[in-house]
Amino acid sequence: MKGLIYKITCQTTQQSYIGKTRSTQRQRWYQHCSDAKRGSDKDLHQAIREHGGDTFQITTLQEWDDISDEVLQAAEIYFITEHNTFHNGYNMQVNGNRPHTPVFVETGAQASEHLQSKSKRLMSASLSHNTQLAYQRILQNVDQYLKGEEVTDSELAAYITHLHDNGKAPATIGQIVTAVKWRLKKADETLYLPITDTTLAGIRREGRDRGRGQVDGLTWQDVERICLLVEVGNTLAGLRDAAMIRLMSDCLLRVSEVVAVNIEDFQKKTLTLRSSKSDQEGAGESLYVCDATRNVLDCYRERAEITDGAMFRHIRRGDNIQPNRITAHSARRIIKKRAADAGMKGFISGHSLRVGSAVSLAQAGATIVDMQVAGRWKSSKMPAHYAKAELAERGAIARFKDGKSG
């Protein structure tokens, strides 16, 4: 069965809780919040009541599509020990007035060799197949540069400096360092990289303007403007494009996700996302679809006479619907064209709807955890980055010095 290990951190105390679950990260967070409201005396739940849910960030540490109960428990204890959340965190739970120590399976020197090896194998398999292929390509280039020599801290630092001098973006160079660390961890090798890490920090600072930068978001207001302009023509292609753009905005969908949507994935007011970048195992997620979006989807589907299969399909001249679904390239082109037609400026891409919805959520008063859950981000860093300007306007200085209540 699927399982995952998650980490919840209070930004006020900088203390964390490590837990395991068979459900999703979002469902587990909601359960913790529910337990806190019901008056649970566990340390984590007391902290949620004391500091408020919006001060916490939740991150997935590892996940597996097939893991036994004993190995999942061993993995949980491994991370509790690694992050020291038992003695300096919220994993020290309280039951009445007596300290309660979680039931530990044998760990460390006492642990079963079979259990340890199985845990390591499953942890190393947590990366998606595509990510592993990307890492392998990166590592081939590293090995070619090193001419077969064993990687060292100084040699790796020299390599990434060479790439920086040749104009590579910091994000690309950072992925190379991550790939090297992944290979070392997979081989159960320990190599500290202080020179490389310091060099990478300098590269990120010096090269922060390289590359195309962050895309401009299309907020809910922008989407409404784009879609009203598209829908007024009452063409089948216009209905399709408006339905797709609205759905991506509602559900914070990636381009790869929206082109894979089928008629069968809709249930009344929700869309079931069968598989995504953040759900490699295809466990599925139910995402809310707004009324206006459902209305446009229904109009498009009825006009196109689509009863099953792909929702968003190629349309030839004369509004002739085709059986094959649109490609990711076509979806990106549609988004850029429709945004340009509505007078939207800046760097617009297929990711603009996802970024824009995160910004709109922040403007509406959503917490970082709300945004993280809505966008299915494993870490809270990305939604916080996208909406940093809006979050700053609700920060401590804005509230206490400038008297803003938003």
Tens-digit pLDDT profile for residues 225-241: 999 999 888 899 999 99
Handedness of CA 196, 201, 206, 210 (dihedral sign): positive
Residue 96: inside a domain, yes or no? Answer: yes
Residue 35: inside a domain, yes or no? Answer: yes
- Are 314 and 238 in a shared domain? yes
309 within 8 A of 255, measured Cβ to Cβ: no
Residue 214: inside a domain, yes or no? Answer: no
- Are 226 and 319 in a shared domain? yes
Q: Give how many domains the chain has, as a whole number.
A: 4
- Are 116 and 9 in a shared domain? yes
- Are 35 and 134 in a shared domain? no
Listed residues 124, 145, 161: the one ending a domain:
124
Q: Does position 213 have pLDDT exceeding 80, yes or no?
A: no
Mean pLDDT of 29-58: 90
- Are 120 and 134 in a shared domain? no
- Are 67 and 120 in a shared domain? yes
Tell me the β-bridge partners of 288.
270
CA dist., res. 377 & res. 277, Å (int):
10
Give 138-187 pLDDT, tens digit per residue: 888 888 888 878 888 888 988 898 888 877 888 888 889 988 888 887 76
Q: Which two tokens stand for residue 174?
A: 């950072």
Domain that holds residue 386: 360-401
pTM of the predicted model, to two decimals? 0.55
Q: What's the pLDDT at 206?
A: 78
- Are 153 and 257 in a shared domain? no
Q: What's the pLDDT at 339?
A: 94
**What mean pLDDT value characterizes the chain?**
81
Cα atoms in the Cβ-side hemisphere of radius 13 Å centred on 272: 11
Q: What's the pLDDT at 368?
A: 86
DSSP assignment letter at 399: I
In the structure, what pLDDT confidence band is assigned to residue 112 with cuts at 50, 70 and 90? very low
Residue 189: inside a domain, yes or no? Answer: yes
- Are 119 and 133 in a shared domain? no
Residue 354: inside a domain, yes or no? Answer: no
- Are 185 and 98 in a shared domain? no
Residue 334: inside a domain, yes or no? Answer: yes
Listed residues 307, 324, 349: the one ending a domain:
349
DSSP assignment letter at 81: H
Q: How far is CA 286 from CA 27, 124, 268, 271, in A?
A: 11, 28, 11, 6
Q: Which two tokens stand for residue 285?
A: 């997620």
Percentage of the chain exceeding pLDDT 90: 32
CA dist., res. 236 & res. 302, Å (int):
10
Q: What's the pLDDT at 169?
A: 81
In the structure, what pLDDT confidence band is assigned to residue 97 with cuts at 50, 70 and 90? very low
- Are 232 and 345 in a shared domain? yes
Residue 289: inside a domain, yes or no? Answer: yes
Mean pLDDT of 335-345: 92
- Are 155 and 229 in a shared domain? no
CA dist., res. 198 & res. 203, Å (int):
9
- Are 302 and 374 in a shared domain? no
In the structure, what pLDDT confidence band is assigned to residue 122 with cuts at 50, 70 and 90? low
Q: Which residues contact 202 (CB under 8 A, 6 or more apart)?
A: none
Q: Does position 93 have pLDDT exceeding 60, yes or no?
A: no
Listed residues 177, 206, 235: the one ending a domain:
206
Q: Domain holding 243: CATH number?
A: 1.10.443.10
Residue 327: inside a domain, yes or no? Answer: yes
Quote the crossing angle between the two packed helices 194-206 and 170-186, to the nearest 10°.
160
